[in-house]
Structure 1
Amino acid sequence: MRGFIKESSPVTKFRRILVKLSGEALMAPDGYWLDSELLVGLASDIAKATQAGFEIALVIGGGNIIRGARMSAAGWIDRPTADSMGMLGTVMNSLAVETALNAAGVPARTMSAVSMPTICETYARQPALHHLEKGQVVVLAGGTGNPYFTTDTAAVLRAAELRCDAVLKATQVDGVYSADPKKDPGAVRYERLTHDEAIARDLKVMDTAAFALARESRLSIIVGSVHAPSSVTAILDGTSPSTIVAP
């Protein structure tokens, strides 16, 4: 079993990054669906990353508003409808993040897989690439635009389409562990894993479909904590702990 394998700042070779952030990470301590202070901090963090030369795309989940799979499991609404409602939640979060980024002086644009042209731009690959090449942060909303796919899978799909070097999965812990570190004090944090190892060990940091697509696309996944100060920048410059899942 691999553990703390030291390498010479492998993260710093990446330049175009897709950051995947859960909707729950945006929640206020009192349970309100958005934390304004957290949004300001996130925008400042992304600003530092862009100033350091990173090109950033973002995929934000909608779990702070609604979870389609959970609602469907309750039995009173079908899964495609519930997932469509979840996609709308990601648009709401993305617009909030776009607004915070623009207020921080970072040019940002929301693009949705679910077409709603009076609210934001509809996602298309070539315009998204153009925005990234111009130095804009692209906030990708609406998941894949289809039910039954998580925003983890959407993040890997968009990263592959937009020629990103890696997906940064910003989570509640500072990497991938052999067990839940909150429940098992003996849990080991991995420095590096392959996609096959992550799938075989059924590690829950991303769903299997996302890992499988990353493996097929030979796309690296970086897993780190969203709670550390300047977490995105620190993970990308190699100064904050993380796990790399790579071919």
Structure 2
Amino acid sequence: SASNTDHRILKQVLESCKAPSNSKHVLQAHAHIFKLGYGTYPSLLASMVTAYRRCNLPHTARRLLLWFLSSSPNVSNTNLIIESLMRSGEYGLAKKVLRKASDRNVITWNLMIGGYVRNVQYEEALRTLKDMLSFSDIKPSKFSFASALAACARLGDLHSAKWVHSLMIDAEVELNPILCTALVDVYAKCGDIETSKEVFYSVERNHVSVWNAMITGFATHGLAREVMRVFSEMEAEHVSPDSITFLG
């Protein structure tokens, strides 16, 4: 439709504005957006905020964001703007939205934790999980834990990995292949290959990713004999290897 075309073109214009010399184009796009009634569209709003910051107009970006928050957006719109800001690498602004949002749900927190991981802000991801537990009645989901474990793995932070794992045990989280893989992977990457092995043999191993995590873990620790043994067990349990298996 025409409205979708306008929306897409305006978003592309904003995303192309990456220097102070483009500020005039941002202002023109901003005027068009409000003239067409798109001012409250979260994805366009996030693009405008990001464009203003790239064009060295942080105060305008901040005013626009505060205007959005003053309108008491519903949780869906709050989540959409957090997601858009995280995709643009604007995790600092996403954090401001989280702090000022009047309504949050588990998706809000997951977008923050996962967004920090994607933006290589691993300590912030773990800090946000702690905030979720301390200042919210919302319980972490499987996605919350998977993102937190990914952060621990990137940091090589064994203490935090054990903390996240203990939270999962206390919450009686039912492990899916993603979480099984994440647990095997995080302990191996944090240097505790024995616990990685214990986890591997205590979880369901019907998905190739779980086997890949164990094989990669043993390979990283230089345990070639263990790699071959696990590969043989994998064949015996009729789990088909993939390209990652052989890279391990």
Give the shorter-chain TM-score range: under 0.3
Query: What is the TM-score of this pair, normalised by structure 2?
Result: 0.24
Name the structure with the higher helix share: 2
Name the structure with the higher strand share: 1
Query: What is the TM-score of this pair, normalised by structure 1?
Result: 0.24
